[in-house]
Amino acid sequence: MFDTHVNLHGETYAEDLDAVLNRAREAGVSRFLAICDRLDNLPAIQAIAEAHSDIWCTAGVHPHHAKDFTGLTVDELLKHASRPDTVAIGETGLDFHYGYSAESDQVTSLRTHIQAARSSGLPVILHTREADDLMADILEEEHRTGQFRMLLHCYTGGLDLAQRALALGAYVSVSGILSFKSASEVRAVIREVPMSRIILETDCPYLAPVPMRGRRNEPAFLVHVGEALAALKEMPLDEVTDITERNSLALFDKVSG
């Protein structure tokens, strides 16, 4: 399995990162994508990727932090993207739930990331919360300017955004949320997404899946995300993990091994 969204830097795993990774490997996770949320965290994220042959990383600014990087340029992202272990741009996106950054700053940052994805050929990882219509409009507008590859990560949005993004070639990732009792609307949307476009993630240390709810999430729990997807799609687990791994490697095609 390929855990396509892990947040390994910072204090959460500071004391036991090696043990966490070893548990994941023993559980069948053979690849990890370490996500960049702020460019000032990128050196720590790159150091983790450099230390482990099965970990790759991204370069980007989460929409929560768009206000802190208003001078972000395409060239800056492309510089980071040129590293062999950097396989995606982001995560970026729009999040109007908390309002940590102004809408204008988030939109500017999102467009900058998309331009970098278009120029580099790397996929852009998209976070969307309470911004479905604007996100869909921007994706379609930017796609008319020039094609780029994209992932709707940890998807909890509506069917309309999913369908409009899928029409542009997007992939959709599912997390432990898919297993939550309260997530019937998420399951209804993912039920309509073809398996050929779905990949798995934990988004650890957040969103631990059932039956690990209430615990610190770990990449080792990715199998439970796979189980939730298998139950939803009424498919064998091994078939689900095989398809989603192949999808992940097709999307993140700079990953080797």
Helix ranges (DSSP H) in the chain: 17-26, 42-51, 74-81, 103-120, 132-145, 159-166, 184-190, 222-233, 237-251
Q: Which domain holds residue 12?
A: 2-251
Model pLDDT, residue 10: 86
Question: Does 47 map to a domain?
Answer: yes
Q: Which residues contact 190 (CB under 8 A, 6 or more apart)?
A: 155, 172, 174, 178, 198, 229, 232
Please indicate, yes or no, if residue 50 is contained in any of the structural domains.
yes
How many structural domains are present in the chain? 1
For residue 257, the model assigns a pLDDT of 55
Low-confidence ranges of the chain (pLDDT < 70): 257
Q: Tell whether 171 is covered by a domain.
A: yes
Res 256: pLDDT: 77
pLDDT of residue 163: 98
Answer yes or no: is 162 within a domain.
yes
- pLDDT tens by residue, 77-92: 999 999 999 999 999 9
* CATH number of domain containing 54: 3.20.20.140
Say if 31 falls within a structural domain: yes
Residue 257 lies in a domain: no
DSSP string, 173-231: EE-GGGG-TT-HHHHHHHTTS-GGGEEE---BTS-PPTTSTTSPP-GGGHHHHHHHHHH
Q: What is the pLDDT of residues 196-207, one digit of tens each?
A: 999 999 999 999
Q: Is residue 256 part of a domain?
A: no
The answer as to whether 66 is a domain residue is yes
